[in-house]
Amino acid sequence: MAGAVLLALLFLTGLATKERDNRFCVGCHLHDEKFQRLTATSSADLAGHHHVKDPTVGCIGCHGGSDLRMRFAVWSVAGFDTLRFLAGTYHEPTAMRLPLRDLECRQCHTPILKVVATFQQEGETEGRGGTSYHAIREHVTVKIACIRCHTVHTTDSDAARRFIAPARVVPVCRQCHPTM
C-alpha cells in the first residue's frame, strides 16, 4: 500500500513538472497544428492570443483545472491515459473528456467586463447591435458557457471579433432572440 502511494506521489510530482511544457502535452495529444498556432508570433486563435500576450500561458493554463476538484480530475485522466499509452491501448479522443468550464476562463477574466450603468450608456457604448454581449446588463443573469461563443482552437474568428465566430454565436443568441 505504501509503495502504491509513493508511486502515485512520484507520478503526480513528475506530471506537475512536465505538464508546464507544452511539448509534453503535444507529445501525446498530437495537436501539432494547434501547437503551431499557440506558439506563433502573431495570434491566429484564442489560445495563441493568450500566449502572445503572456508567453508563460500554455496548454495547462486552461486545461489544468482551476479548482482542486477539476485539478484531480485532470490528473486522473492523465494518469489513466498514461497507463493506456504504456499498455499500447491509448487512442486519441475525438472530444474533450473534461470540457473547459467558465471557472477556467475566470481564473484571469474576472470581471469579464464592467456592466454599463444605464440604458442610455449602453446605447452609446454598444447599442443593441453592438459587439459586447457582456456590456448589456440584461445578460448578467444569462448563463452561457464562455466557450459556447468564444472559439479557442479554431481560426474561424480573430482578435478583432474577440474570437467570436458568427456561425457559432448566432444560434446561441437565437435561443433568447428568435427574430434576430
Compute the distance between CA of residue 66 and CA of residue 14 in angstroms, rounded to an integer. 19
Asked if residue 90 lies in contact with residue 53, where contact means CB atoms within 8 angstroms, the answer is no
- Identify the weakest region by mean pLDDT among 28-42, 46-60, 166-180: 28-42
133, 149 contact by CB (below 8 A): yes
For residue 23, the one-letter residue type is R
Percentage of the chain beyond pLDDT 90 is: 12
Nearest residue to 15 (alpha-carbon basis) of 84, 94, 69, 80:
80
Task: Compute the distance between CA of residue 5 and CA of residue 7 in angstroms, rounded to an integer.
Answer: 5
CB atoms near residue 124 (< 10 Å): 11
Q: Which pLDDT score, from 0 to 100, does residue 121 have?
A: 52
Q: Please tell me the predicted confidence (pLDDT) of residue 7.
A: 87
pTM reported for the whole predicted model: 0.74
For 123-177, how does the pLDDT look when each residue is reduced to its tens digit (9 = 90+)?
Answer: 555 444 455 788 777 888 888 999 899 988 888 888 888 888 888 889 999 999 9
List CB contacts of 133: < 8 A, sequence separation 6 or more.
139, 149
Domain boundaries of the chain, sorted by first residue: 2-99
* Assigned C-alpha cell, 14: 513528475
pLDDT band for position 113 (cuts 50, 70, 90): low
Q: Which of 48-52, 109-113, 121-125 has the lowest mean pLDDT?
A: 121-125
HSE (CB half, 13 Å, CA atoms) of 142?
A: 16
Report d(CA 98, CA 74) in Å as an integer.
Answer: 7
DSSP state of 144: -
